[in-house]
Amino acid sequence: MLIAYIQNAMKLARYEILEDGQYYGEIEGFQGVWAQADHLETCREELQSALEDWLVLGLRMGHKLPVVDGSQLVPAEA
């Protein structure tokens, strides 16, 4: 379920080329999840890593995470 959630969230990613030629990517609905790199594929990889870290932290802190394609990750009860 976690892999499918991440894959579906990455489908929401939007990328742009900045004035300096670098790529910038972010995922709508995932505040603070972004990446910037010299190449699009590197930007995508870094964005996915940022998303994974963001999700782990959110789950540990008990945050309500966004619903993606009908799926939602829910923190375990302590």
- The pLDDT confidence band at residue 1, using thresholds 50, 70 and 90, is confident
The full set of domains in the chain, from first to last, is 2-61 (3.30.160.250)
Q: Does the model's pTM come out above 0.75?
A: yes
Q: Which residues contact 31 (CB under 8 A, 6 or more apart)?
A: none
For residue 77, the model assigns a pLDDT of 66
CB-based burial label for 35 (10 Å; 0-12, 13-18, 19+): buried
Q: Strand pairing partners for 34?
A: 26
Q: Strand pairing partners for 16?
A: 24
